[in-house]
Chains A and B, each alone.
Chain A
Amino acid sequence: MPLIENGRIGEDAWSFVPDGEPVPNDRPVIISFERWQAERDRFDGRNAKLGVRLKGGTLAGAIAADLDRFALVAVEFPKFRDGRGFSTARELRERYGYTGEIRAVGHVIPDQYLFLVRTGFTSVEAPEGTNPESWANALTEITVAFQPSLDDTAPLSLLRRKLGVG
């Protein structure tokens, strides 16, 4: 599936390994949160990068204690209308200080891309056949924001400011 990063289709260095299938040791892989819980000891001493995929109902707190083990957290949107993932990403960043990649997976649409970026996501797994133009456009079509977002350190005195992105 196409990976969207910085408004463009990018190379995906990661692959998801379904539960039950062998986990390669020589390249970055994403495993499910459930598998992590069941088999965590097996990943001790692993050198290649590891990522974890959270289902929509799994909130940031569930993985907080183990975040230093993961270079990537994939947050699943079961339906694009289910906005829990926006809070999950923000909690990962703001509450738990996570600095690795946060990837949106599942059902998301380009119309949500700006919100994803502003809540701390770094990449999006888009559906096959997606229109790359819509993703690029999503980051530039609205240039005004009214609230502090994730990488802002400035206080709310910036209500109604122009966005820096794009």
Chain B
Amino acid sequence: MNHIAPGARAGIYHYDEIDRRFVAERVEQFRKQVDRRLSGELTEEEFKPIRLMNGLYLQLHAYMLRIAVPYGVMSATQLRKLSEIGRVYDKGYGHFTTRQNLQYNWIKLEDTPAILNALAEVDMHALQTSGNCVRNVTTDPFVGAAKDEVVDGRVYAEILRQWTTMHPEFTYLPRKFKIAISGAASDRAAVRIHDVGLLARRNDQGEAGFSFYVGGGLGRSPFVGKLVRDWVAEEDFLAYLEAILRVYNQYGRRDNIYKARIKILVHELGLETFTAEVEEEFARLRGPKYRLDKGIVEGIRHHFAPPPFEELPDHSEALERAKASDPAFANWLAVNVAEHKAPGYAIATISLKPAGGIPGDATCDQMDLVADLAERYSFGELRVTHVQNLVLAHVKKDELYDLWKQLDAAELGSANAGLIGDIIACPGLDYCALANARSIPLAQAISARFADPVRQRTIGELGIKISGCINACGHHHVGAIGILGVDKKGTEYYQITVGGDATLTTAIGDILGPSVTETEAVDAIEAIVDVYLANRSDEGERFVDTLRRVGHAPFKERIYAAD
């Protein structure tokens, strides 16, 4: 196999011979498993979990292959390979997901071994992106760059990537298991809607440790993760997780797929009993065997050393001039650019939500362009966010304008990060066999309705999240406005919830009233926005705050007045 080295400066984990050998062996293992299925040695029932643990789903029209992007961070070289695969084996597209991964929606089963080989050339794979195992760990897309960062989540996410890879005890869990880590003051990884959410912090001595939230999750029974332990020292990081997973593997329900997630176990046992079980396991596991060695942590941290930042003044004249001369750029700067910890640098969010577009979709040409831009402006590295956008984390302020002009020319310059146009949507009935309703056309219609960037900025922070069914892949429960597709006697309807929140103040939205049709849904969203604008105390009051203050009544009145 040709191995293509990633850029040396990219802040990704750089494979060594052992990692490479492992991926090659897994590709070969899957090839044999496919053969054994074809010969009948493995039944379809036996093959299914194996296929899923290799990232291969069967959707409505074709196979979908979900590629693992560990904690959402990759190199330009890797993105270029993803683009090449999309061109050869898909229809010239890739779809970035809420799991910070990439999916191809039009894959042929017989092409998968070749695709897995192509991925292995750039140290990538599709392992554990599905199935009842510990899935790809996610983290803050601004990791290693954000001004408010306390602990670098990549280091621990990588430790988890290794520890969870083919874990002998936890590969046939009751259900899938998702872990997210945040190491900054603001939670950009939605940790409390994960099976295990980790908040990395530092104690008075400056040592890293973790708060463990367990049992969060959306789906048909949404729960906010509960605090099981406020401080787990770094050396106990894996021991504590091992304890949680062992309790879950033994006691999690296996009789009903809808009650099999750890959130139900925590709920049914009660937080106190669950915690006592975990603590009992932990007390015994704690010791040399499961102690996370300082040397290991430092060895992995070495991979994520800061790129060679130039010493720059924090103030950029070039940026100020561009801002003054180009209002569209000034708008993008205000909305899509965040503060960096290195002076003179900034974090740029590349929106994959053009007006009327499909959230998270990128053409292969766009991927190639982003790879080039990542090389030119951000040390050859980029990130995928859980709201289905991309991030260039280390851009010189002096170069932001050049970057934006090139993005804008490729329909990647939308100024809507965190605004109403920044919609999360699941694949819905256009692709997914589980969906009740289509998500994508509704997302497109809403984003077209609110296309005006000035209007979007006036409305301010307001996330819309759309799921095509109760499994909630579009995170509708935690959308400031959430939309859930339902099926009413064969017709697609949409149920609207308001007041959800995916940050540390996590909240599940409340249903506003009876479900509506697709056309009515767009009008209803606009009505909600109008009521908000009419009621907010000042421009600084966010939608969720106004909602909290005035309640549901004025919104309901406007939407359901005719009924």
Q: How far is the CB of A152 from chain B (nearest CB, A)?
A: 7
Asked if B46 contacts A109 (CB within 8 A), the reply is: yes
Identify the stretch in B160-168, B311-319, B451-459 within 8 Å (CB) of chain A at 4 or more residues.
Answer: B160-168
Least Cβ distance of B280 to chain A in Å? 10
Main secondary structure of the interface of B (DSSP, over half): helix
Residues of B within 8 A of A160 (CB): 16, 18-19, 162
- Interface contact B41-A156, CB-CB below 8 Å: no
Whether B284 contacts A95 by the Cβ 8 Å rule is: yes
| Shortest Cβ distance from residue A146 to the other chain B in the assembled complex, whole angstroms | 4
Binds B, one of A19-27, A33-41, A45-53, A81-89: A81-89
Q: How many residues of A contact B (CB 8 A)?
A: 42
Q: How far in angstroms is the closest Cβ of chain B from A86?
A: 4
Q: In whole angstroms, what is the CA distance A82 to B45 when docked?
A: 13
Q: How many Å from the CB of A35 to the closest CB on chain B? A: 23
Whether the Cβ atoms of B26 and A156 lie closer than 8 Å is no
Once bound together, how far apart are the Cα atoms of A80 and B22, in whole Å?
24
A56 smallest CB distance to B (angstroms): 8
Interface pair A148/B290, CB less than 8 Å apart: yes
B-facing residues in A86-112 (Cβ within 8 Å)? 86-88, 90-91, 94-95, 109, 111-112
User: Knowing A80-B172, A109-B46, A142-B22 touch, does A87 contact B29 (C-beta < 8 A)?
Assistant: no
Nearest chain B CB to A75 CB, angstrom units:
12
Task: List the B side residues contacting A131 at CB < 8 Å.
Answer: 36, 41
Let me know if A155 and B288 touch, CB within 8 A: yes
Provide the bound-state CA to CA distance between A146 and B169, in Å.
12
Contacts of A161 in B (CB 8 A): 18
A71 lies within 8 A of chain B by Cβ: no
Structural contact, A134 and B41, CB atoms closer than 8 A:
yes
Please give, as numbers and ranges, the residues of chain A lying within 8 Å of B163 by CB-CB distance: 146-147, 159
Q: Select from chain B the residue with minimum beta-carbon distance to A60.
A: B250
B162 lies within 8 A of A153 (CB)? no
Which segment, of B224-232, B292-300, B526-534, faces chain A?
B292-300
Q: How far is the CB of B238 from chain A (nearest CB, A)?
A: 6
Interface stretch of the complex, out of A1-9, A10-18, A113-121: A113-121
Q: A66 near B: Cβ within 8 Å?
A: no
What are some 17 contacts across the A-B interface (CB < 8 A)? A81-B49, A82-B172, A87-B169, A90-B169, A91-B246, A131-B36, A141-B32, A142-B26, A147-B162, A147-B167, A152-B289, A155-B293, A156-B289, A156-B291, A157-B293, A159-B159, A160-B162
- Interface residues of chain A, those whose CB is within 8 Å of chain B, are 59, 80-84, 86-88, 90-91, 94-95, 109, 111-112, 114-116, 118-119, 131, 134, 137, 141-149, 152-153, 155-157, 159-162
